[in-house]
Structure 1
Amino acid sequence: MNELIEPGLWSTALTQASRLATAAVLTGAIGFERERHDHSAGLRTHMLVGIGACVFTLLMVQLIQSFDGDDIRSDPVRIVEAITAGVAFLAAGAIIQARGQVKGLTTGASLWLAGAVGLACGLGDYVLAIIAVTMTLIILRLVKLLE
């Protein structure tokens, strides 16, 4: 049975699982902060956005590796653009205008950032993801006190 398992498959699966789990935890921290203050997009939404962005990133990496030849031209920036556009669509849904006031801009921005954190985790750039989440939580909590 071991002959049927491709060499390195388990290490690849563990790497992917750790990247997905990290995306879930980090974006969950942002979502928890939003949920705590009863905003429309909370813990689950932010986690799903982060995991989704991470999955698309992992698939992009696999596609680039599997089509590593002269016949195929890969452009990872297109995947980044697709992730950004998809998350921006969700973020726009969180923004509403009522009675002359715009609400949900910060929640929309935090969803957009969750997509970026998922992308960073998918690429294995945990340090960048952690710095981004830390700065986000500082902005969402401390800067609000200054407003």
Structure 2
Amino acid sequence: MHALALPLFDPGAGQGVRQFAELGLALLLSTLIGAERATKQKSAGLRTHTLVGVGSALFMEVSQHGFNGVLGLDNVSFDPSRVAAQVVSGIGFIGGGLIFVRRDAVRGLTTAATVWLTCAIGMACGGGLPLLAIGVTLVHFVVAQGYPWVTRRIPAIATAEQTRLHLAYRVGTSVLTRILEHTTTEGFQVLQVRVDRPDRKTPPDSGHRRDEDDTVSAGTVFVQLDIEGTASVHRLVAELSEFDDVLSVSSIKDEIAD
């Protein structure tokens, strides 16, 4: 029984220190990418990217070493690249599930591409190409962190971004009309407006829309405003906060293409 257990950990059988090191590298690199996506609160975060990276590395290990026992037999041929090709095809199902369209705006493309990239990094680790895996991981951070900074400073290549504004103002004023006019004047497109009044016993996130002309008692009106554009959201928020009767303004920005 002891003799049977030894080959299981034989480096020549594809289960040695090198293979575990490659899986460990895939774990580390995919975790770094997943952590970066998690900090941005994307739909595919830490766990998804980590599992995709390690799983892809394992598939590559199986592709290279999993069939060594039958390669020496007569009339047996094997192309290890077939397993890698199937991994590339299979990852498309995860990426496709992250992409959706809302009001002609495509969301999830960047997240899906990141999952696809993490799969490639894991395959590189499992295929014994650690330097390429590390290099592409660095490229990811350059693109994810550096490109938004560049595009904000070059209007010609600026990417349209969707922003959700949360505003509060006093009931009985016409400030919402002025807010919408000023927002469109600044170059933003208004995608959706939702007005909520807590004194009507409707939760702010219930999805129920109300018109501003509804008669309500004195209090505060909360508005959720979805806008799209390439102009400065920070400047818009600062300008709206100066409006009379506006109590508060905050924003949550997210790339439409992401």
Give the TM-score normalised by the residue count of structure 1. Answer: 0.90
Moved more, 113-122 or 60-69: 60-69
The one-letter amino acid paired with 1:15 is R
Cα RMSD between the aligned structures?
1.8
Identity over aligned pairs, percent: 34
User: Which of 115, 118, 139 matches 1:114?
Assistant: 118
**Which structure is higher in strand share?**
2
Report the alpha carbon displacement of residue 18 of structure 1 after superposing the two structures with TM.
Answer: 1.5
| Contact 2:53 2:121 (C-alpha < 8 Å) held by counterparts | yes
Residues 1:19 and 2:15 are matched in the alignment = no
Report the alpha carbon displacement of residue 17 of structure 1 after superposing the two structures with TM.
Answer: 1.9
Max Rg structure: 2
Residues 75-126 of structure 1 show CA distances to partners (whole Å, capped at 9, x for unaligned) of: 2221111111111110111111111100111110010011111111111211
The one-letter amino acid paired with 2:106 is V
Aligned counterparts of 1:95 and 1:87: Cα–Cα separation in 2? 13
Aligned to 2:133: 129
User: Which of 101, 106, 131 matches 2:105?
Assistant: 101
* C-alpha distance 66-3 of structure 1, shift in aligned 2 (>3 A): closer
| Partner SS state of residue 76, structure 2 | coil
* C-alpha distance 67-7 of structure 1, shift in aligned 2 (>3 A): closer
User: Which of 42, 57, 61 matches 1:54?
Assistant: 57
| Partner SS state of residue 6, structure 1 | helix
Residues 1:138 and 2:142 are matched in the alignment = yes
Residues 1:63 and 2:66 are matched in the alignment = yes
Pick 1 or 2: higher relative contact order, CA cutoff 8 A, min separation 6: 1
| Partner SS state of residue 67, structure 1 | helix
User: Which of 36, 41, 45 matches 2:39?
Assistant: 36
In structure 1, stretches of 5+ residues that fail to align are none
The one-letter amino acid paired with 1:111 is V
Report the alpha carbon displacement of residue 10 of structure 1 after superposing the two structures with TM.
Answer: 5.3
| Partner SS state of residue 114, structure 2 | helix
Give the TM-score normalised by the residue count of structure 2. Answer: 0.53
Aligned to 1:45: 48
| Partner SS state of residue 6, structure 2 | coil
Report the alpha carbon displacement of residue 4 of structure 1 after superposing the two structures with TM.
Answer: 3.8
